[in-house]
Structure 1
Amino acid sequence: MTDAPVTPQSTRRLGALRNQVPMLLVVLVLVVAIVFVMQERWRRGSLFIGGAALLASVLRLFLPQVRAGLLAVRSRPFDVVAYAVLGGTIIALAATISSLGVV
Structure 2
Amino acid sequence: MATPNTAATPTFMVFATLRDDTDFAEFAALREDEQKQLEVLRSQGRIGAHYVSPARRATFVEVVAADEAEVAETLATLPFARFFDAEVYPTTPPDPAEIAHRARA
Query: Shorter-chain TM-score: what band?
Result: under 0.3
The structure richer in strand per residue is 2
Q: TM-score, normalized by length of structure 1?
A: 0.26
User: Which one has the largest radius of gyration?
Assistant: 1
